[in-house]
Amino acid sequence: MTAIAVTIAGSDSGGGAGIQADLKTFSALGVYGASVLTALTAQNTRGVFAIHDVPPDFVRAQMDAVFSDLAVDAVKIGMLATPAVIDAVAAGLEAHGQRQVVLDPVMIAASGDPLLRDDAVDTLRRRLMPLALLVTPNLPEAARLLDGPIAETRADMAAQAAALLALGPRAVLVKGGHGTGAESADLLLDADGQLWLTAPRHATTNTHGTGCTLSSAIAAELARGRQLREAVAEAKAYVTAAIRAADDLTVGHGHGPVHHFHAWWDAGSIPG
């Protein structure tokens, strides 16, 4: 059977994050990707210049079209800017019985531009988090979901992961990429307890789309039949390699994208 994953997220016109990053990741990992667009952005490596929200009823229409036809193995959710769109997505997941849902609570772009309205945070907590197999906030996102300070230590991350797990998802991955130190440490908390995943921190400004790529890589690995812990570990390794290879690309004049096809493209043949 063909492994199929669906991304429900916003479009990045610059190609480095959002729907575009998700579909690249699915393809790189051998998974067929389908998509449901929730927003259009006028965006490049320097910033987000405009956002056009897709009407909630059209978001639901896309979901109904995809899930009624395709045998979907996993779902990744990214940018959902408004409460109405969040409600539409939650209702669609419930109607189509989707269980392998990876929720990336996208709130701020790599450029610092906001992507989630303040009035949508509570709706995200109440409606979507209980439907998720896994929620994948970075440190600022975890703090905002909990209305608390940004975690500075591993103990802080563990406490916030437990608080997020209490909101209803079956597992939480608190990402430490915004932290400091020689290693980037992520904490997975599930029914089996804590699992720390670490990788050497790589110095680069080309990190656009990192969070989107990680969550979609987890969804892709789940679609391929891996269990959650193995899927997260494989996705972490993929993203780490994509960040290390990011400087092989010459894309834009701001925060460039990670290299989704690092295992496929010959770096020496990439046009500069």
Question: Would residue 209 show up in a list of annotated catalytic residues for this protein?
Answer: yes
Catalytic residue among 211, 213, 236, 240: 211
Catalytic residue among 123, 136, 210, 240: 210
Structure tokens at 26: 């699915």
Question: How would you classify the pairing of strands 4-12 and 74-77?
Answer: parallel
- Say which residue, 181 or 254, is predicted with more confidence: 254
Average pLDDT over residues 133-158: 94
The residue range of the domain holding 122 is 4-269
Residue-wise pLDDT for 34-87, tens only, equals: 999 999 999 999 988 999 999 999 999 999 999 999 999 999 999 998 999 999
Instruction: Name the nearest CA neighbour of 13 among 55, 52, 62.
Output: 52
- Torsions phi, psi of 221, nearest 5? -65, -40
User: How far, in Å, are 156, 159, 211 from residue 191 at the CA level?
Assistant: 19, 15, 23
Question: Would residue 207 show up in a list of annotated catalytic residues for this protein?
Answer: yes
Domain count along the chain: 1
What's the confidence (pLDDT) of residue 120? 84
- Torsions phi, psi of 100, nearest 5? -90, 75
Catalytic residue among 25, 38, 45, 207: 207
For the chain, list the strands marked E by DSSP. 4-12, 32-44, 47-53, 74-77, 101-103, 134-135, 172-174, 183-190, 193-200
Tell me how far apart the alpha carbons of residues 19 and 62 are, in angstroms, rounded to a whole number.
Answer: 14
Torsion of CA 111, 112, 118, 124, to 10 degrees: 60
Question: Would residue 175 show up in a list of annotated catalytic residues for this protein?
Answer: yes
Q: What is the CATH number of the domain that holds 152?
A: 3.40.1190.20
Tell me how far apart the alpha carbons of residues 164 and 67 are, in angstroms, rounded to a whole number.
Answer: 28
Tell me how far apart the alpha carbons of residues 272 and 260 are, in angstroms, rounded to a whole number.
Answer: 17
- What are the helix (H) ranges across 104-225? 121-123, 139-146, 154-165, 210-223
Q: Is the pLDDT of residue 89 over 60?
A: yes
First to last CA, the chain: 39
Q: Is the pLDDT of residue 1 over 90?
A: no
10 Å CB burial of residue 30 (0-12, 13-18, 19+) is exposed
What's the confidence (pLDDT) of residue 143? 92
Question: Would residue 211 show up in a list of annotated catalytic residues for this protein?
Answer: yes
Question: Would residue 212 show up in a list of annotated catalytic residues for this protein?
Answer: yes
Catalytic residue among 78, 212, 213, 240: 212
Residue-wise pLDDT for 97-130, tens only, equals: 999 999 999 876 655 555 677 778 899 999 999 9
Catalytic residue among 209, 213, 236, 256: 209
Taking each helix axis from N to C terminus, what angle separates 210-223 and 228-244, rounded to the nearest 10 degrees?
Answer: 140
What's the confidence (pLDDT) of residue 132? 98
What's the confidence (pLDDT) of residue 59? 98
90 contacts 131 by C-beta, under 8 angstroms: yes
User: How far, in Å, are 29, 95, 271 from residue 216 at the CA level?
Assistant: 10, 22, 27
DSSP bridge partners of 9: 37
Number of residues assigned to the chain: 272
Residue-wise pLDDT for 150-193, tens only, equals: 999 999 999 999 999 999 999 999 998 655 566 778 999 999 99
